[in-house]
């Protein structure tokens, strides 16, 4: 029983769904993201939100997988600040959709003032809608990005119990380890391995830790979650720990939306 709490199924095939279910994945969460080319209007975002909330949800269900979404405007496109803020202003109805379980993924790409504006607007919206938040941390200058994210969360006095800071590394963990925020690890061939992630879990413990694949149209692996769980089992971690990290933790985080309840038995 596994959950992949961050995967972009929009860019994956039905074969992936089959393999994921056979490998034990019973539920996934798909955060809205950059599609590889930039949008030219809010409607382009809205059509995409509808697609992942409804079509992707059905496609997953046809392969026995529960599929839910995070809705948000990504940092990569935030330099188009007017377009981004206009999109955010019309996002309420998507955040109220029964398949939406969080605001995300939002955060920083190049840590610019425009990105911060779009990020803050969506944090405010998450507070208003009482939804958890999934935060994307930048690939470059990651440590500075995470430090700035933590400052903003504190300045805005957000409820840190309802926030997941994703894509952590050995460098960022000291910045979030003692905070109540949830900590995400992304197993991605060019960025982070299962082995390094397991070493960090061993070091920092299993509370509020989640592991995902972030699989998308890049060189990524939709089976990264089951492979990491298998590695932990091979290393003789107790089943209860594996269940906590790969099922109970992500379930508990997204359940704060009131719309995420994959069966426990």
Q: Is the CB of 60 or the CB of 242 nearer to Zn ion?
A: 60
Number of residues that bind Zn ion (CB under 5 A): 2
Minimum distance between the CB of residue 105 and Zn ion, rounded to whole angstroms? 5
Residues in the chain: 265
DSSP state of 6: S
Q: How far is the CB of 33 from Zn ion (least distance, A)?
A: 5
Output the residue with the shortest Cβ distance to Zn ion.
214
- Nearer CB in complex with Zn ion: 145/242: 145
Count of CB atoms situated within 10 Å of the CB of 30: 27
Q: Least CB distance from residue 243 to Zn ion, whole Å? A: 24
137/214 with CB nearer Zn ion: 214
Q: How far apart are CA 136 and CA 180, in angstroms?
A: 17
Phi, psi of 19 (to 5 degrees): -65, -40
Strand intervals (E) in the chain: 2-4, 25-31, 66-71, 100-107, 133-136, 163-165, 182-186, 209-212
Query: Quick one: how far is CA 242 from the chain centroid?
Result: 19
The rounded distance, in Å, linking the Cα atoms of 175 and 160 is 14
Nearest distance from C-beta of residue 188 to Zn ion, angstroms: 9
x-or-dash string of contact with Zn ion, 211-250, rule CB under 5 A = ---x------------------------------------
β partners of residue 107: 136
Q: How far is the CB of 235 from Zn ion (least distance, A)?
A: 27
Q: Which of residues 41-100 bind Zn ion (CB under 5 A)?
A: none
Give the nearer residue to Zn ion in terms of CB position, either 45 or 242.
45
Which residues sit at the interface with Zn ion, rule CB under 5 A? Answer: 33, 214
């Amino acid at each position: 029983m596994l959950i992949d709490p961050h995967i972009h199924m929009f860019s994956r095939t039905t074969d992936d769904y089959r393999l994921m279910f056979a490998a034990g994945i019973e539920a996934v969460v798909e955060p809205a993201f950059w599609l590889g080319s930039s949008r030219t209007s809010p409607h382009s975002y809205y059509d995409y939100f509808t697609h992942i909330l409804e079509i992707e949800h059905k496609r997953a269900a046809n392969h026995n997988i529960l599929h839910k979404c995070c809705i948000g405007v990504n940092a990569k496109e935030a330099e188009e600040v007017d377009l981004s803020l206009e999109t955010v202003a019309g996002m309420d109805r998507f955040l109220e959709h029964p398949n939406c379980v969080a605001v995300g993924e939002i955060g920083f790409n190049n840590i610019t003032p425009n990105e911060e504006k779009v990020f803050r607007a969506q944090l405010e919206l998450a507070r208003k809608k009482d939804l958890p938040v999934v935060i994307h941390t930048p690939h470059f200058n990651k440590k500075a990005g995470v430090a700035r994210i933590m400052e903003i969360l504190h300045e805005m006095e957000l409820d840190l119990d309802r926030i997941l800071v994703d894509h952590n590394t050995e460098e960022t963990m000291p910045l979030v380890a003692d905070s109540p925020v949830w900590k995400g690890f992304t197993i991605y061939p060019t960025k982070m391995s299962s082995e390094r992630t397991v070493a960090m879990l061993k070091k920092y413990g299993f509370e509020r830790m989640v592991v995902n694949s972030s699989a998308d149209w890049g060189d990524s692996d939709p089976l990264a979650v089951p492979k990491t769980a298998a590695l932990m089992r091979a290393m003789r971690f107790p089943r209860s720990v594996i269940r906590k990290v790969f099922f109970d933790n992500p379930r508990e985080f997204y359940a704060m939306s009131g719309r995420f309840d994959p069966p426990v038995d």
